[in-house]
Structure 1
Amino acid sequence: MVGVHSSVVGSKKRVWMISATVGALWLIVVLLSAAVSLTRLSRVQQVVLPAGVTPYIWSWAFPWPVLLPIAGAVAVTLVHAAILQIVRGAERSVATVWLATVVAGAAAGLTIDVVLVFASLVTDGWAMWALELGSRAAVGAYWGLIYGWVPALIAHRLARRDDARGAVETPSRRGWPIYAAAALAGLVLLGGAQVLGDEATQVQLRAESAASEPAPADGSVRPDPDAPGEPVPEQVEGGGVIGDGACTPERAMVLIGDVSGATGHRGMRLELMNFSDTPCTIEGYPDVAFGDQNDHLLNVTIERGASFMAPDPGPALIEIPAGSSAVAYLGWDANSTQGTLVARTVWAAVLEGEARGSKPIESDVVEGATVSVTAWALPEGGSTAP
């Protein structure tokens, strides 16, 4: 029993020695390919050094140019070992070891193919299946074809050495599910490295692009596409515009004015224009929100009432003649914008519950500010509804 056990252990040890050679070859080819790509021999690089499955991507964010080839080496090692373990006595066959190298390279390439195809579905659709799927699998298989002789030669010499020693082996397929699971985990690791490396690079590129932009003239923080935050809701809960003859979106629309200022104070006029050919009625306060430089909802307190810039007439049912308008005003105190989030967009709706419209603005409404809003009212000289 001891002899049988030792022969099985020896067989598994030989499997790992051969498969580890496959992983080492993968890294060597990637390293040489990266070096050759900087020389005049780059044109023949893919013919002699096919590292296109997990190449050293110079433009990627560090350390992913290093981690991706390592993940590829781990994947081909585990896939190769699984094949040798599943096929009885494969580690003693030159042809099988060579073919296993081809399959391991193809499996790694196919993993990258699948990741890239699914990543491009949103922008390019299913047509990418025909263009991308299988291209890197072919490169991986080609790599195994031209370099598979190395582990095959090692397997041959190890087998001859054992034969010379008179070692009697009992090839065993026990434990192959573990090998298969490890191979699958290696391929998942490779796919994850491709996704994470690409995401890290995109983050770095966005950060570099933002850093290259000139600093905002008002001293506020630069836009950050990766900043946390929630988008401005295009509609919030509320009763909306109801009732016969009301100023519904089919009859009236909100027009957003520009920021105006007085010493230490700021204001903005909102106009509800009745573009229909009949009067319409409205009662209440407009719904207002602000978006910051990252297109996120800015934390601003909206208070109903008067401000330094305008009195609040209070909510009252008013009738807007055809072709005329009602007005409401926003007002706030001037704020320092140095190093803070500021409003770059104002959103407004007739009432809560209606769809908001938006307009870009330059303002000093900052995070934590308070903005007052007055009720809809007719301009000077108008009257409430009868």
Structure 2
Amino acid sequence: MRAVRVVVPALVAVVAWFASGALSTLGMASGSPALLRVTRLVAPDTLPVGITAPEPWSILVGVAIAVAIGGLFALLALVFGADRAAPRIAGFAAAWAAAVVAGTIVGGLPLVFALAEALLHTAAAPLPTLDLAATGAYWGVVWGWLPALAAALLATVPVTRPLGTPGAVAPLAYPVVLAVSAGVAAIGLAGVAVASPIADAAWHARISDNAAAEAAEAAEREAGLETGTGNAPPPATPPADAVPIPEIAPGDWRIDPTWCTENQLAFAASRPDAATGHRGMRVTATNVSTAPCTVDGYPDLAFSDPVTNGFEVRVLHGSGMLGEPDAGAVAVELPPGGTAEVDVTWDAPAHSDRDPAGFLHIAAYPGAVRQFVPIDTDIVGGEVEVTAWRLPTEDPAAAG
């Protein structure tokens, strides 16, 4: 067996994997809903969030994915008999099937860790879904014909130099090629298994740190004074009624591809207004990316005290005494630098020995990663109401 008949189709598979992810990213950055729908159809988003993590994790994840998809495609193509199938169409189909299975395994590998985390942790956590594996499988369907075509064409190329003539190279034994492909695939999958969770955590930490810093600066500018929240050390044990705050709201959420992602938005909260028995504050979301995106519906909210012990807070949709009337869910497109806002209202709580909420955990919609926003409230539980996203209301004083 000629090594080129294995290596070249595997390299084509690697290029196709990254090309699909790159086209998907371009579609998301274009700001055109029509182009976004087209790229979603023809270019599955194969690149994980860790690929944009701080170095060196982004590089390690990229290399690991390349080795995993190339090695696994080569291994499965050999197992399925793509190099030995006759007629040519059978080898093409076998290699295409190898691409689908390889994409499913590489794309769905993080699902294994999400499932293990859900089983090992008793705290509320987002349930793992099959979306990643389905994306990998869809990539194999849409793009897998490219490495399959390369494999089919190379399988029919005759050996131009018989053995014994100058320059002739002896073909490798099938078991050797199979073993090498299996080793490469194992190394790649192990690399993804180790580097991907760390890279994802590094990416989320960077986004959370940036968003928290921007929100704190906005709050300081609005208040006109320095703040120092979040510096108190956590207690040895959380209060008995503390609630864990998951990074993503639990549930199987439907997310529109035009909606703003967590790395496109920065949140800030105003100082609360107060009236007899009522409270309210305004929360803004600013598009800090270079591409337009959309917020639609109601944000996802949770609350915790200054050391991030969560409260049992029931979040209702609507407007309270101190909020603007809730117009309901409408799509609000945010250009780069654009803002949208919601009003969060609640009733004055009864006396409690608990420290009140010092952080708002917010996402533009359920299913997105929550970000931390420092707040100064007297919320210790109970109910809060939140309006749907809307364009900023005009300041009456400025209008007059």
What is the TM-score with the length of structure 1 in the denominator?
0.47
Higher relative contact order (CA 8 A, sep 6+): 2
What is the TM-score with the length of structure 2 in the denominator?
0.46
The structure with the larger Rg is 1
